[in-house]
Amino acid sequence: MPSSSSLAVRELPLFPLPEVVLFPGRPLPLHIFEFRYRMMMNTILESDRRFGVLMWDPVQGQPASIGCCAEILQYVRLPDDRLKMLTLGQQRFRVLEYVREKPYLVGLVEWIEDRPTDQNLQPLASDVDELLRDVVRLSAKLMDREIELPEDIPDLPIELSYWVASNLYGVASEQQALLEMLDTATRLEREAEILSSTRSHLAARTVLKDTLNED
């Protein structure tokens, strides 16, 4: 009978994407046009519809070693065999080794999860949620338009931490660092720092705008 550790390891087709970090529970729409990736997706569609998304690091010239598994939920095949698809993030994984590189990348991966904790994370999650709403409110005021947060923002700390991380647009390296953390509290604390800094910056700009409008 296989051990529990061997069950957590599998081969996975890998899709490196520049400046894209996928998180568990988050959607990722894709447009597949390169021949090798069309081959990869056609093979995946005949199996369990799962593949790994890795952020391509342009500085290192290689993909990150930790990524997130994606499952194909829907797809449309275009006339020239391109594919448009909607995928959803599942488990995170660490690449142990590359099994092959052609016609597309395949790695031996192990699943990873946040370490269990007895700490009550709800207060920390509530702080992050409040900071997020402050940032959105200040952004809306600066842009003179309404910005509404979706109603389905997760309540559970780990899911909230993934939601916030996935919406930190334009900072893929920071998102990758959050993806690699194996401690929910640490991830939420870092997100609180980022949101707090952003809130301070937006608040200062709002004061300046109000002062100029008074003149």
Helical spans, DSSP H, in the chain: 4-7, 35-45, 122-143, 157-166, 172-180, 184-214
pLDDT score recorded for residue 1: 38
Distances from the Cα of 76 to the Cα of 31, 69, 73, 82, 86, angstroms: 10, 20, 11, 9, 9
Residue with tokens 């568990």: 24
**Residues forming CATH 2.30.130.40 domain(s) in the chain:** 4-112
Task: Report how many helices (DSSP H) and strands (DSSP E) the chain contains, helices first.
Answer: 6, 7
Please indicate, yes or no, whether the overall pTM of this predicted structure exceeds 0.85: yes
- CA distances to 21, 33, 67, 98, 129 from 54, rounded to whole Å, are 7, 18, 5, 13, 27
Per-residue pLDDT of the chain (215 residues; tens, 9 = 90+): 333 444 589 999 999 999 999 999 999 999 999 999 999 999 999 999 999 999 998 888 899 999 999 999 999 999 888 999 999 999 999 999 999 999 999 999 999 999 999 999 999 999 999 999 999 999 998 888 888 888 889 999 999 999 999 999 778 999 999 999 999 999 999 999 999 999 999 999 888 766 766 65
**CATH code given to domain 4-112:** 2.30.130.40
User: How much is the pLDDT for 3?
Assistant: 38
Residue 89: strand pairing partners: 70
The rounded distance, in Å, linking the Cα atoms of 60 and 48 is 31
